[in-house]
Amino acid sequence: NEIRVFSPATVANVNCGFDVLGFALDGLGDEMVLRKVPQKGITITRIEGADLPYEAKENVVGVAGLAMIEALDLDFGFEIEIYKNIRLGSGVGSSAASAAGIVFGINQFLEKPLTNLELTAFGMKGEAVASGNEHADNVAPCIYGGFTLITGYEPLKIVSLPVPEELYVTIIHPHITIKTKEARAILPKEVSLQNAIKQTGNLAGLIAGLYEADYELIGNSTQDFLVEPYRKNLIPDFDFYKVTALKNGGLAFGISGSGPSMFTLSKGKENAGNVELALKEALKTKNMESDSYVSPV
């Protein structure tokens, strides 16, 4: 009568795929315990690791869970314990992990009547509470695992992409705050045709690189012409960290989601570890406190 769910951290955008591309981290994530109870709705009984509201309607977990309970017209409810390991606002999909975890967990109780696509749509409702916008580039990889591409929002369409075996990610989280809503508000509403062409080429190149397990192509295809030029100003010394990561074995470097975490893709664990050491040192020289994480993709 009890289910424990692991809900991974995720990197959204991956530079060239703003709002459409994302991948899950293997190892870092939140945990949630669900218990089926006769009373309807969601009752949050415990939250550890973050200061979040217990009131279901104000909590991402509650909002996503209630949306699903209502849509499926369930005549029972759930008690939830939430153990947050992903730091709030760190840029690796903390709210998405909450939203995805609850809908995935409820689905397990119901013996999986819903598809991953349907679960992602419910998860997006919760994500919208936190970020002010319904996007699925964190929720989708959290539910599907691996790399996911959203090929359409209306209607929602998602493709799972292959992940080359030796692809690793290094996450470095500088201890500054960036709000997703604000990081979206600074972006221009229009882009130039020239930049759209470059971005399209990169996104296609990255996807081809994933299918071919071509690490060089992956590394050459993640430049971001649309978002990074604006958002990097929110992270002091971003360019210095980028140069450091790429010089120390990284294939690609960028802002994870809306930041402030930054991700580096590397071939193999050793390179990913070298990048981690170099970046930690680089942040130290700028007196920036941080925490970091290395994981297979």
Task: Look at the block and give the residue holding tokens 């050491």.
Answer: 277
Candidate list 180, 222, 244, 264, residue with the active-site label: 180
Q: Is 154 exposed, middle or buried (0-12, 13-18, 19+ CB in 10 A)?
A: exposed
Cβ(105)–Cβ(83) below 8 Å: no
By the rule CB under 6 A, 123 interacts with ligand HSE:
no
**Rounded distance, CA 117 to CA 80, Å?**
23
Which residue number, 3 or 88, has a Cβ lying nearer to ligand HSE?
88
By the rule CB under 6 A, 202 interacts with ligand HSE:
no
Q: Is 43 exposed, middle or buried (0-12, 13-18, 19+ CB in 10 A)?
A: middle
Is the preceding peptide bond at 229 cis, omega within 30 degrees of 0? no
Residues between 42 and 101 that touch ligand HSE (CB under 6 A): none
By the rule CB under 6 A, 120 interacts with ligand HSE:
no
> Is 58 considered catalytic here?
no
**In the complex, what is the shortest distance from the CB of residue 90 to ligand HSE, in angstroms, rounded to a whole number?**
11
**In the complex, what is the shortest distance from the CB of residue 293 to ligand HSE, in angstroms, rounded to a whole number?**
18
Per-residue contact flags (x/-) with ligand HSE for residues 18 to 37, judged by CB under 6 A = xx------------------
* Binding span for ligand HSE by CB under 6 A among 111-119, 132-140, 206-214, 232-240: 132-140
Cβ-based neighbour number of residue 41 at 10 Å: 16
**Rounded distance, CA 297 to CA 170, Å?**
10
Which residue in 10, 98, 107, 138 binds ligand HSE (CB under 6 A)?
138
Cβ(20)–Cβ(136) below 8 Å: no
**Rounded distance, CA 9 to CA 179, Å?**
17
Per-residue contact flags (x/-) with ligand HSE for residues 163 to 192, judged by CB under 6 A = -----------------x--xx--------
**In the complex, what is the shortest distance from the CB of residue 184 to ligand HSE, in angstroms, rounded to a whole number?**
5
* Binding span for ligand HSE by CB under 6 A among 134-142, 206-214, 237-245, 266-274: 134-142
Which residue in 90, 98, 131, 290 binds ligand HSE (CB under 6 A)?
131
**Position with the least CB separation from ligand HSE:** 257
Which residue in 8, 10, 11, 13 binds ligand HSE (CB under 6 A)?
13
Cβ(109)–Cβ(36) below 8 Å: yes
> Is 180 considered catalytic here?
yes
By the rule CB under 6 A, 207 interacts with ligand HSE:
no
Instruction: Please work out the total of residues on this chain that contact ligand HSE, with binding judged by CB under 6 A.
Output: 13
Rounded to the nearest 10 degrees, the angle between the axes of helix 269-285 and helix 238-247 is 150
Mind telling me the catalytic residues? Answer: 127, 180
Interface contacts to ligand HSE, rule CB under 6 A: 12-13, 18-19, 131, 135, 137-138, 180, 183-184, 257-258
